[in-house]
Structure formats: C-alpha cells, structure tokens
Amino acid sequence: MRNSDDRMESPQSVAVGIGRLFEQAGSQAEVDNLRALLCSAVERLAPLPGDQRNEIETQAFGAIVEGLKRFGPAALLFKGGIDFLDFACIQSLAVEAAGLFPRASEAQGHLYHPGGEVANSLSVSPELCRFMQDLVPECQPTGIASYVYYCRPGHGIPPHIDTNMFLLNVLIVLEHAYSGAPSNLVIYPDGPTPITVKLAPGDVVVFDGGSLVHAREKLGVDERLSILTIGFHPR
C-alpha cells in the first residue's frame, strides 16, 4: 500500500492494479487463484460491526472492495418478499431442509447439504428465472442449490466472496429462531464500513456474490438459522 517514496497509495490506484492483474491472467485457473487470494485477504482485513482496524488494514480492504467492482456491481440487488415464494412454498422448503439436516456436512462456521427435489426444482423454475432476468438481463441458473444451517453458538461465516457457482446469489431465509439479539447478514458495498441486513423467514435477498463482500455474524446462544442459497451466472 506504500510506494517507493513511502507515500500511501490510494485505494483507487491499488484497485486499478488489482484489475490489471486479472486482465493479465492467462487462464481461468489463474483468475481463480487471484480470486482465492483476494478472498483470503478479505477474511483477514474486513471488520465486522464493532471491530477496529488500523489505517493500513482499512486502506487495503478498501482497495480490494474497489478492485472487485471491476467484475460486478458489488451490490444488494433485491431484498424483500416474492409473490411466487408464498408461505406454502417457504414451508415446503423448510420441511425439506429439516429432513436433510441430519445428513448435513460440516463446514467452516456452518453445516450444509445440497438441495433436494423441492430446492432443485425451484433453482431452475421459470418463475425464478424470469424474476432474476428482470434484475440481471440474460443471467442463467447454475442449477446449484444448497441448504445452509447455522445451529451452534459461534456459527457464522467471516467476510468473503462467493465461488463461481454463486456469482449471483439468491438467499432465502427459511427459519430463524433466537432468544436475544439475532445475528445478521453483513455486506460491504463501499469499503470498510459494514452494513447489517436484517432478514426474517420468507425474506429473499439477491446480491452479486462474486464481488460484494459479505458475511454472517456469529450466532448467539439459543439461536438457529436455516437458509437456501441458489446460484445464477451473469452473462
């Protein structure tokens, strides 16, 4: 972040440098490796609400956020309810998620299981595809749906960007039970200042998972959360 004259580089100039690295990548493997490095840096540098970071860490994280915007809007594209995802649909997804939970796999800060018949059908449904193409013209479903479970105190996911299967991420809240203050989705659209996104069962958010840094705050005692994530590809 400092040049040869020991002057602090601006986040914008570092962002340009990050963009040039991607442009010079000779293969998709090199692009994926660069994304993995940025994701690792994001996890270490991004502040969660209440965290403190020094000036260099703050500047470095701001540069990464600006650099990622070269590959997408880094934005929350939708938040709210969707007509075709009515109570009956959410309940059928919640029932399927609960049935698959005993076979869920451990991951960092959560458990997950590939979508079942109900989730997989929704992930490529004409209704969802039309809805998504109204938000992002010509986007296409990846056909990947995953149930994610946060069910223990301390469960949560640190700041990160998503894999290529979730460059556009549709997140549906199926269940959220808590006795104290709930954990929240956290996004970083403009640098080091985190924004909390409060969601309730039935709520849907769509965001640019490949460039919008996001996180899940750690769960408290007596809190559990289950969500469905569905991936789309921008054209």
Report the DSSP beta bridge partners of residue 111: 106, 149
pLDDT at 10 over 80: no
Q: What does the pLDDT read at residue 4?
A: 40
In the predicted model, is pLDDT for residue 185 greater than 90?
Answer: yes
Residue 17 has pLDDT above 50, yes or no: yes
Q: In degrees rounded to 5, what are phi and psi of residue 27?
A: -155, 165
Domain locations in the chain as residue ranges: 11-71, 76-233
- Which residue shows structure tokens 């408290």? 220
Structure confidence at residue 193 (pLDDT): 81
Give me the mean pLDDT over the 183-197 stretch.
89
Q: What Cα–Cα distance (Å) separates residue 98 from each residue in 92, 138, 166? A: 10, 33, 23
Note the CATH number of domain 76-233.
2.60.120.620
DSSP alpha helix (H) spans, the chain = 11-24, 28-45, 55-68, 87-100, 117-123, 126-135
User: How confident is the prediction for the chain on average, in pLDDT?
Assistant: 86
Q: Which tens digit of pLDDT belongs to each residue from 39-69?
A: 677 777 776 666 666 777 777 788 778 777 7
Residue 1 pLDDT > 50: no
Q: pLDDT value at position 119?
A: 98
Residue 101: count of CB within 10 angstroms of its CB: 14
Question: Residue 78: pLDDT above 70?
Answer: yes
Half-sphere exposure for 203 (CA within 13 Å, toward CB): 15
Give pLDDT, residue 100: 98
Asked if pLDDT for residue 186 goes beyond 90, the answer is yes
String of b and e for 174-185 (b: at least 16 CB within 10 Å)? bebeeeeebbbb
Residue 22 has pLDDT above 70, yes or no: no
Predicted local confidence at residue 180, as pLDDT? 87
The 10 Å Cβ neighbour count of residue 53 is 14
pLDDT, position 24: 67
pLDDT at 79 (0 to 100): 97
